[in-house]
């Protein structure tokens, strides 16, 4: 069983964000990065499937040189090889462009399962895996909590709304978007980190993937980025000690009347 | 010639998803402003009663699409059928509620037509005679105004709660059946019946006071200070998803899109940044208090009272103050 897992590098969850001068995205200087949360669970799901069924786990990341650190992290945790999709033409992809790029790379490498997290913490499209499935002509399932191989296919547990779940059986190859929290993430061991140094990371650009400008052209465009307008007037209470606590309790009692 | 707005109506077990009426409301508003006709489409097998219900809203038409292969929702079945509906109806804009089901099929549908889905939007504005859609990025820390580019149809989904479904104007729409070519072999997903895990032990929906804890608590052993605060207040404890994912609190304490939806008298959010998946589960609370070290955390956008600071200082001080008040 060969599994390709897509790992997006995103700014750390607690990053202080600043808007760029053109107000089209954030300033990327001074940021530290991490693996997108649900992608980390997709990687763990891939590693566990390999431990159970044998095969290979390939860690794929799309982005500039810095994204090699997430590929290396995945290799240290147990992935076998890396695919790094890097090209100046990939700089401002929307979900469709990213999916087209990932689909081209996944197709050229071959796979039984293509895994992504269900949503990125930055753009938050929640679409890339599903679009890739369509472009590859493959079945998919989203918001997956569990994967069980069944004959030549796979049975996955999907999360639905309002506390419902559903098992769905699909043929392979297929594309699956993974929910956060479905397994326990492993850490890279020292041995894993050493072993990762010998593992291959293959770089692929737009030409190698046969991607033209028309395919990568955005189908949705950000006109402007801004801090959200407050929908409520928030009363900020200064301080953090007993005085602030007393002020809050007084307001909750006399203004909001909750006590 | 592409024209009009088409709304996707979702249903399960004979009930229309209330979020679909929010999308209908969005279509009524945008349609009136852009002078576009509005229609809705409902897929399934035996959905005439549901179509009649939707036809009671102010829409020009309600389309039904029925097939054995649409008896249960599958992304393949819905995408294939919906694509044919779009070819027949030729809408300029397709609106949907950003539900788990829409997330599952809409990106595939849009991609099959080489179009974008502008997903999870929270509103729109009209600029130069065209709709611009606002969506949240960085988990709600920032907003982005987005335009779909290229040829119509354009696909847009709206976050739950972005429009008031109960404000839909009433009307009398014409119901029209559409025929699509869909056979069972084209549907590759075989879904089983929906189920719930062991029944939730705690029903947080009935709690008047809730203290909720998030990632800011850092370690499991620190949950204790939250328990003390909740005990002092007589409140139930709840949590954001990461806390339950780590098993620091049981899953039935989780608030948000994948947990419980609550509207208590007081929701005190401690160390919760306010990712949208959490906010949808608690933004109906009457009074919201947020304690967070990050002044830019989205939770402050919806809070009535906020304290920016170290929760390890604020929470014990608050516990002491409430104990003092109760004496």
Please check whether residues B157 and B216 belong to one and the same domain: no
Domains: count for chain B: 2
Q: Is B112 on the interface with A (CB under 8 A)?
A: yes
Q: Do B314 and A240 touch (CB under 8 A)?
A: yes
Please check whether residues B44 and B155 belong to one and the same domain: yes
Q: Highest mean pLDDT: which of A199-203, B2-6, B195-199, B249-253?
A: A199-203
Structure tokens that stand for A257 in this block:
């009347």
Percent of chain B with pLDDT over 70: 98
Specify whether the backbone of B4 is left (phi greater than 0), alpha (psi in -120 to 50) or beta.
left
Q: Is B278 on the interface with A (CB under 8 A)?
A: no
CA atoms of A39 and A9, how far apart (whole Å):
9
**Residue of B242, B249, B247 lying closest to B271 (CA atoms):** B242
Neighbours of B69 (CB within 10 A): 21
- The CATH code of domain A2-216 reads 3.40.50.620
Please check whether residues B223 and B156 belong to one and the same domain: no
Q: Do A121 and B325 touch (CB under 8 A)?
A: no
Of B145, B242, B304, the CB nearest to A256: B304
Please check whether residues B29 and B173 belong to one and the same domain: yes
Give contacts of B289 with chain A, Cβ < 8 Å. 248, 252
Please check whether residues B35 and B93 belong to one and the same domain: yes
Q: Do A225 and B137 touch (CB under 8 A)?
A: yes
- Domain boundary residue, one of B186, B220, B245: B186
B135 membership: H or E segment, kind and range: strand B130-137
Which site among A104, A230, A243, A248 would you substitute to test the B interface, given the most B Cβ atoms closer than 10 Å to its Cβ? A248
Q: Do A244 and B296 touch (CB under 8 A)?
A: no
For B256, nearest residue in chain A (alpha carbons): A162
Please check whether residues B286 and B154 belong to one and the same domain: no
CA atoms of B155 and B115, how far apart (whole Å):
8
Residue ranges of chain A whose pLDDT lies below 50: none
CA separation, residue B244 to residues B142, B254, B262, B312 (Å): 26, 7, 17, 20
Please check whether residues B258 and B228 belong to one and the same domain: yes
Q: Is A148 on the interface with B (CB under 8 A)?
A: no
Q: Is it the case that residue B78 has pLDDT exceeding 90?
A: yes
Please check whether residues B54 and B105 belong to one and the same domain: yes
Q: Do A228 and B140 touch (CB under 8 A)?
A: yes
Q: Which of A206-210, A242-246, B101-105, B316-320 has the lowest mean pLDDT?
A: A242-246
**Residue B198 falls inside a structural domain:** no
**Residue B139 falls inside a structural domain:** yes
Q: Is B15 on the interface with A (CB under 8 A)?
A: no
Give contacts of A140 with chain B, Cβ < 8 Å. 75, 108
Q: Do B300 and A140 touch (CB under 8 A)?
A: no
- ω before B153 within 30° of 0 (cis)? yes
Flag whether the ipTM exceeds 0.85. Answer: yes
Q: Is A108 on the interface with B (CB under 8 A)?
A: no
CA separation, residue B190 to residues A167, A198, B111, B184 (Å): 8, 42, 22, 10
Of A14, A96, A143, the CB nearest to B100: A143
**Residue B321 falls inside a structural domain:** yes
The CATH number that applies at residue B146 is: 3.40.50.620
For B152, nearest residue in chain A (alpha carbons): A219
Q: What is the pLDDT of residues B246-298, one digit of tens each?
A: 899 998 899 998 888 888 999 999 999 999 889 989 988 999 999 999 998 99
Q: Is B119 on the interface with A (CB under 8 A)?
A: yes
Find tokens 């950003």 and name the residue: B98
pLDDT at B160 (0 to 100)? 86
Q: What is the pLDDT of residues B201-241, one digit of tens each?
A: 678 888 899 999 999 999 999 999 999 999 999 999 999 99
Better pLDDT: B303 or B139: B303
CA atoms of B157 and A164, how far apart (whole Å):
22
pLDDT at B200 (0 to 100)? 55
Q: Do B305 and A248 touch (CB under 8 A)?
A: yes
**Residue B274 falls inside a structural domain:** yes
Burial B17-37 (b: 16+ CB within 10 A, else e): bebbbbbbbbbbebbeeeebe
Cβ atoms of B42 and B51 within 8 Å: the answer is yes
Cβ atoms of A84 and A203 within 8 Å: the answer is yes
Which site among A122, A226, A233, A245 would you substitute to test the B interface, given the most B Cβ atoms closer than 10 Å to its Cβ? A245
Q: Do A248 and B325 touch (CB under 8 A)?
A: no
Can you give the residue ranges of every domain in chain A?
A: 2-216, 234-259
Contacts for A130 with CB less than 8 Å, ≥ 6 apart = A99, A140, A142, A175, A177, B75, B103, B104, B105, B107, B108, B111
Domain extent for B297: 204-326
**Residue B166 falls inside a structural domain:** yes
Q: What is the DSSP string of B189-230?
A: -EE---EE-S--S--GGG-SEEEEE-GGG-SGGGHHHHHHHH
pLDDT at B37 (0 to 100)? 97
Which site among B107, B203, B301 would you substitute to test the A interface, given the most A Cβ atoms closer than 10 Å to its Cβ? B107
Provide the 8-state DSSP code for A29: T
Please check whether residues B215 and B173 belong to one and the same domain: no
Structure tokens that stand for A189 in this block:
């061991």
Please check whether residues B85 and B176 belong to one and the same domain: yes
CA A198 to chain B, closest CA, distance in angstroms equals 33
Q: Do A231 and B301 touch (CB under 8 A)?
A: yes
- Give the pLDDT band (50/70/90) at residue B1: very low
SS3 content of chain A, % helix, strand, coil (to 5): 30, 30, 40
Contacts for A18 with CB less than 8 Å, ≥ 6 apart = A26, A27
Contacts for A151 with CB less than 8 Å, ≥ 6 apart = none
DSSP, collapsed to helix, strand or coil, labels residue B5 as strand
A75 membership: H or E segment, kind and range: helix A68-77
Q: Is B284 on the interface with A (CB under 8 A)?
A: no
- Give the pLDDT band (50/70/90) at residue B197: confident
**Residue B197 falls inside a structural domain:** no
Give contacts of A122 with chain B, Cβ < 8 Å. 137-138
CA atoms of B314 and B289, how far apart (whole Å):
12
Q: Is A207 on the interface with B (CB under 8 A)?
A: no
CA separation, residue B148 to residues A91, B23, B153 (Å): 19, 18, 9
CA separation, residue B133 to residues A14, A128, B76, B283 (Å): 26, 20, 27, 22
**Residue B192 falls inside a structural domain:** no
Please check whether residues B100 and B163 belong to one and the same domain: yes
Q: Do A232 and B303 touch (CB under 8 A)?
A: yes
Burial B74-90 (b: 16+ CB within 10 A, else e): bbbbbbbbbebbbeebe
pLDDT at A129 (0 to 100)? 98
CA atoms of B156 and B148, how far apart (whole Å):
9
Give contacts of A259 with chain B, Cβ < 8 Å. 325
Q: Is A230 on the interface with B (CB under 8 A)?
A: yes
Q: Is A19 on the interface with B (CB under 8 A)?
A: yes
pLDDT at A29 (0 to 100)? 83
Q: Is B61 on the interface with A (CB under 8 A)?
A: no
**Residue B193 falls inside a structural domain:** no
Please check whether residues B211 and B113 belong to one and the same domain: no
């Amino acid at each position: 069983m060969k599994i390709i897992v897509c790992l997006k590098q995103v700014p750390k969850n607690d990053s202080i964000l600043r808007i760029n001068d053109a107000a089209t995205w954030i300033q990327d200087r001074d940021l530290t990065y991490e693996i997108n949360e649900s992608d980390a669970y997709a990687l763990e799901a891939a590693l566990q499937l390999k431990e159970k069924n044998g095969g290979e786990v390939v860690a794929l990341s799309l982005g500039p040189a810095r994204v090699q650190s997430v590929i290396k992290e995945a290799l240290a945790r147990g992935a076998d090889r890396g695919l790094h999709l890097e090209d100046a033409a990939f700089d401002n992809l929307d979900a469709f462009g990213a999916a087209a790029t990932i689909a081209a790379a996944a197709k050229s490498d071959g796979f039984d399962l293509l895994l992504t997290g269900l949503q990125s913490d930055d753009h938050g499209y929640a679409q890339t895996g599903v679009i890739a499935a369509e472009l590859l002509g493959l079945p998919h399932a989203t918001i997956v909590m569990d994967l069980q191989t069944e004959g030549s296919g796979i049975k996955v547990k999907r999360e639905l709304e309002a506390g419902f779940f559903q098992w769905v059986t699909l043929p392979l190859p297929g594309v699956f978007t993974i929910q956060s929290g479905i397994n326990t993430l492993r850490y890279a061991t020292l041995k894993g980190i050493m072993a990762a140094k010998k593992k291959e990371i293959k770089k692929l650009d737009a030409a190698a993937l046969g991607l033209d400008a028309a395919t990568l052209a955005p189908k949705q465009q950000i006109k402007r980025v801004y801090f959200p307008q407050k929908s409520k007037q928030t009363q900020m209470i200064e301080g953090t000690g007993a005085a602030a606590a007393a002020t809050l309790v007084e307001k909750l009692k006399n203004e909001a009347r909750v006590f | 010639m592409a024209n009009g707005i088409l709304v996707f109506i979702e249903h399960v077990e004979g009930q229309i998803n209330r979020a679909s009426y929010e999308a209908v409301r969005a279509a009524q508003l945008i349609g009136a402003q852009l002078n576009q006709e509005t229609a809705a489409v409902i897929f399934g097998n035996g959905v005439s009663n549901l179509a009649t219900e939707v036809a009671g809203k102010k829409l020009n038409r309600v389309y039904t699409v029925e097939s054995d292969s649409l008896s249960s929702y599958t992304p393949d079945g819905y995408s294939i059928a919906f694509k044919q509906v779009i070819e027949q109806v030729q809408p300029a804009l397709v609106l949907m509620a950003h539900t788990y089901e829409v997330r599952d099929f809409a990106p595939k549908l849009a991609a099959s037509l080489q179009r974008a889905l502008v997903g999870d939007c929270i509103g729109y504005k009209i600029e130069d005679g065209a709709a611009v859609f606002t969506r949240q990025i960085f988990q709600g820390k920032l907003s982005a105004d987005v335009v779909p580019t290229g040829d119509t149809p354009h696909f847009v989904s709206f976050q739950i709660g972005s429009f008031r479904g109960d404000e839909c104007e009433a009307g009398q729409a014409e119901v029209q059946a559409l025929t699509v070519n869909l056979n069972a072999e084209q549907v590759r997903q075989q879904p089983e019946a929906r189920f719930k895990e062991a029944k939730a032990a705690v029903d947080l929906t009935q709690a008047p006071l809730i203290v909720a804890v998030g990632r800011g608590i850092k370690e499991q052993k620190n949950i204790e200070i939250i328990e003390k605060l909740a005990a002092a207040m007589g409140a139930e404890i709840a949590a954001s998803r990461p806390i339950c994912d780590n098993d620091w609190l049981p899953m039935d304490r989780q608030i948000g899109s994948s947990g419980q939806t609550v509207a208590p008298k007081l929701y005190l959010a401690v160390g919760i940044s306010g990712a949208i998946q959490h906010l949808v589960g608690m933004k109906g609370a009457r009074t919201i208090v947020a304690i967070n070290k990050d002044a830019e955390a989205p939770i402050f956008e919806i809070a009535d009272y906020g304290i920016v600071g170290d929760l390890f200082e604020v929470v014990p001080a608050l516990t002491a103050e409430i104990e003092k008040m109760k004496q």
